[in-house]
Every structure is written in structure tokens, then in C-alpha cells.
Amino acid sequence: MVLILGLVSLQAQPILGARNTSLGSGGTAYISDVEATFWNPANLAITDQSGRWHLQVGSIGILYEPVLSSGAAGRQFFNFTDSYFPPNPNTTGITSEQRQTILDQNYAGKDLLSQHQSRADILLGGAVWQGKDKAFSIAARARYGSRIEVGRGWYDQNFTTLENSSVRNFQLTQQRNHLYEFSVGYAQSFTFVNGWFSGVNELYIGISPKLVLAGPSLNFSYDAKYFKSGDNQNTLLTDQFTYSSTGKYSRSVDDYRSNPNARQAIQNNYDRNYSIDNTGYGMGVDFGLTYLIPLGKKLPSVGEDDGVINRSIRVSFSINDIGFVRYTDDPMQISTPRDSLIVTKQQSAARSMFIGADGQYINYFDSANKLPNPLLAAQKNNLDNYTALLPSSINTGILLELKRIKLMGDLTLGLRNTAFTSTKLALHLGLEARPHPNVPIRTGARLAAGIPTHLSMGTGIETQHWDFNVGAQILFRSKTFTTDFGGGAFAGIELHL
């Protein structure tokens, strides 16, 4: 059994696990257990552990990129849970000092937009069987993701001067998804003779088709900005809005449009209890390739006394979540076209921070009385079923394994901005060293433009028949030279039989 609880960061990271959390959130060439079913299924056939059967149950991983950090790990966890429940004024309300801290940490220099993600992955159960040149896996997981983008204008009363104009940005974007997946993985190895290295090399190809059930979904983008240009004292407001949702998110907006009482709409549709609310169904596939060059000796076979590969170079590629979801339960799509008008009064800064809590966007739009309310301005309700793509991503990785030392690097890229992925290219670097054969020491970093650097570390106990791992991460903001506790990961028992 594996129990993993972590607070980590990602860009297009296909899974949240204890090992890759400690290694800078990479692992395209490294991860080879049940989790590889959802990341790089080609690695399922690589013998990194002794035994033919590898079992995992109950693995949990958590991600949290806070708007306003807390120095205490326990408080950070409750900040994470608050973002998945209805908004609480005691946790979202901010003072003028806290507002300035938010500006300093998230909008350094002339930045107009900040981005924050939170996510939870639960590996409900999984197993891998490895044969001589092939492997099969079966796994089920639930994952929840939320991604928000918040314009500087919500916190800053002042205009930001750019090259040709001054701007106050009131953009507000949120994407939230709940996905439940059942996947079956298959990997096959192919042997090649390479004159550059002694012995033979292996090409591993893997594929994992999956069925997907979707919980409530939310995807909206409000693009509103104030502009001032040159000596012109007039203030121009431009705005545009697109919105799609299912389940409780649609019902709450429908209530609000019928009776514009934000508090009542939130109370009627959201609570602090969890329930599976299936709003759609779909299918997808994960695909991966790994080219493995053994160093020092031939490739071992499963079942040999020394059947574990521990000296190699691996180059990997995976493409994940290629597929779709068809939403059928309470679908809603509304929008407003881009509009421009001259205004004499401006919206003041918000008195609360936007963390993406359930229904908080309704309250935010309702409270912004100097901005057009996009939820009420939209004239037409499209209630037809609609289809959305899964959060696809591309991942590449390289691993150099020298028995007790592993060096790795990954590049990850989301094909679209979603609750789980970002289109910002991220570099992941990791190092694993074993001062004792059963005790790994791991460290890593994740680098991406415009977001904090993530530094990680971890350790564990890994024996012939069971593993236990633990890790932690901190956020480093290079523009302000500040650090925050980013989270940790804890793993129970993984069995190898």
C-alpha cells in the first residue's frame, strides 16, 4: 500500500508522486512503477525493481501554489482545502498590508497577471505485471485541478505604465476539473544492436487507453482592462467574457441569473461535503517511448538474480491525455462580445483575495459594482451538451544511471492552459544518490519563466520487497528573493512480489 500526501508544483506534470516531487517534479525517463501508466507507459517494461508484480493502493498527492503564503505547513494545507470549499470571509479577507504582500510576491515590477494552480491526485489502486519483454498494468485514479489567473487591478488602485499607455488589469480566469480515470497499460520492448556501445539497446513502447468519468467542470475567462493613453484624461474600459460549466457550477450561475443574490446562490449549491457528481464521460490515451542504452553489461531479464537495471542511459518521450470528455449534466455556455466604453469612475481594489474557492467568482463579479457584471450581461443561455479536450501535454526526459547515482532532466509543456496544465515550458532537474543501497537521497529543481522556482528534496527506504519515500519542496521567488514552504510528500508501502 502507498500513501502519498504532498504539496508540490507542476506545469504539465501528468502525475503527483513522492519520488518525482523530490526530483523537481520530473520523471519521464525515471518513473517506472504503476504511476508510469499515466505518465510514460513505455517504462512499465523496465525492471527497476525485483519481482514480477508491483502493487500500489491509496496514493495521494497534493499541489498548492498560494496567493498569500503561510509559513506553517499545517496552515498551508488548510489554505489548500479552503480553495475547494465555498469562500470563507475569515480566510479570504485581506488587510492593506496583506494586499501589499500579494502585490510584492505575485506582481513584481510591471507584471499585470499572476497564475496559481492547485491539484489533488488520488491513485485508487494499481498493479503492474512484468514479463520477459512485455508488461501489463491496470490502474484507477481520481484527480482534481484548479488554475486561476488574476489581474493586478483587483489588488492595485494604481495604473501600471507600459510603453504607450497605462493599464489596470481586471482579468479573472478560472479552470476547474474533476476527472476519474480507469486505465490499462501495455509496454513492449524491442532489441537493437548499436555499434556505439557494447551489447544491445532496447526501445520500449507503451500505450495506456483509459475511460474517463467527469465531475463538475468550470472554465471562464473575464478580460477587463482600464486604459489611459498620453495626455488623454479619459479612461477606456474594454471587457469580454466566455463561460462554460456543468453540474453545481451551472446550477449556481442559473440561480444567480434568476435572482442576483450572490450569497444565496453560493449557499444553495456549495457546501463543505464531498460527493461524486458525474457530469460527463469520455476516453483518452497516454503514449510513451523510452530508448535505453545499458552501460557495462547486457540487459538483465525479469527473474534473474540480478534482474534490476542499474547502469544505463535513457531517453524518453511521452504525450499524455489525448482524448475528450462529453459533458451532459447541466451544461451551460454563455458569453459577451468585446465591448469598449469611456468611464468616469473606476473599480476599487477588492477587499478579499481570489483563491478560486467554490462559487467565489460569483461573489467577485457581484461585488465589482463599477465593472459590467458578465454573468448578468450575457443574454443567451446555451444549454446544449458540449465536448472538451483532456488536458494534453508533451514530456521529454533523459536519465543517466550509474548504479548509486541518477541524474535526470525533463522538459514539460501543456498543449493548452487547463486546470492541470500550462503552456509555459518548464525545465525539471533531479539528482538521486544512494549512500546506502536501500536509502535514496533526492534533490531537484523546477524552472519556468514567470513563476517561482521550486526546490525539492527527499529520501526514503527502498528494499527488495517494499518501498517508503518522503519529500518536500520550497518556492523561491527570484524577483523578490523570498522563499515559502511549498509542501511535502509522504509515501507508505509499495509492494514488489
Domains of the chain: 7-496 (2.40.160)
Tens-place pLDDT, residues 313-329: 999 999 999 999 999 99
pLDDT at 348 over 90: yes
Mean of pLDDT values over 165-187: 96
pLDDT above 90 as % of the chain: 59
More confident residue, 181 or 4: 181
CA 178-182-185 angle, 5° bins: 130
Look at residue 10 in the predicted model and tell me its pLDDT. 46
More confident residue, 79 or 44: 44
Q: What whole-number percentage of the chain has pLDDT above 70?
A: 89
pTM: 0.89
Task: Answer whether residue 375 shows pLDDT above 90.
Answer: yes
Residue 14 scores a pLDDT above 50: yes
Neighbours of 73 (CB within 10 A): 13
Highest mean pLDDT among 50-59, 292-301, 327-336: 327-336
Q: Identify the pLDDT of residue 191.
A: 84
Band (pLDDT 50/70/90 cuts) for residue 494 is confident
CA distance 413 to 254: 35
**Residue 137's closest CA among 5, 4, 32?**
32
Give residue 2's pLDDT band: very low, low, confident or very high (50, 70, 90): very low
pLDDT at 276: 84
Closest among 69, 164, 112 to 355, alpha carbons compared: 69
Look-up of cell digits 489588488: 155
- Per-residue pLDDT of 118-140, as tens digits, reads 888 888 989 999 998 899 999 99
pLDDT score of 172 more than 80: yes
Q: State the number of CA atoms in the 13 A half-sphere of 341 facing the CB.
A: 11
- What is the rounded CA–CA span in Å between residue 78 and residue 379? 38
Grid coordinates given for 295: 552501460
pLDDT band at 9 (very low <50, low <70, confident <90, very high): very low
User: Which residues does 221 contact at the CB level (< 8 Å), separation at least 6?
Assistant: 171, 172, 173, 241, 242, 243
Give the max Cα distance, the chain.
Answer: 80
Cell representation of residue 277: 457528481
With left for phi above 0 and alpha for psi between -120 and 50, is residue 310 left, alpha or beta? alpha
Strands 53-64 vs 439-448: parallel, antiparallel or unpaired: unpaired
Model confidence at 299: pLDDT above 70 = no
The pLDDT value given to residue 30: 94
Mean pLDDT of 14-23: 83
Structural contact between residues 380 and 334, judged by C-beta atoms closer than 8 angstroms: yes
491 — pLDDT class (breaks 50, 70, 90) = low
Average confidence score pLDDT of the chain: 87
Residue 160 DSSP SS3: strand
How many CB atoms within 10 Å of residue 406? 22
Q: Is the model more confident about 487 or about 81?
A: 81
Expressed in angstroms, the distance from the first to the final Cα of the chain is 13
**Least reliable range by pLDDT among 77-81, 194-198, 385-389, 429-433:** 194-198
Q: Provide mean pLDDT across the span 82-111.
A: 90
By DSSP bridging, strand 53-64 and strand 7-8 are parallel
Condensed to tens digits (0 to 9), the pLDDT of residues 196-229 reads 544 568 899 999 999 999 999 999 999 999 998 7
Beta-strand (E) ranges in 194-331? 200-214, 218-228, 235-245, 280-294, 311-327
The cell numbers describing 366, all together, are 457581484
Contact between residue 312 and residue 297 where contact means Cβ atoms under 8 Å apart:
no
Contacts 24+ apart (CB under 8 A), 254-257: 254/332, 254/381, 256/362, 256/366, 256/375, 256/376, 257/375, 257/376, 257/381
Backbone angles phi, psi at 480, to 5 degrees: -115, -5
Q: How far apart are CA 238 and CA 338, in angstroms?
A: 7
- Classify 175 as helix, strand or coil: strand
Where residue 183 falls among pLDDT bands split at 50, 70, 90? very high
Distance CA 297, CA 278 (A): 51
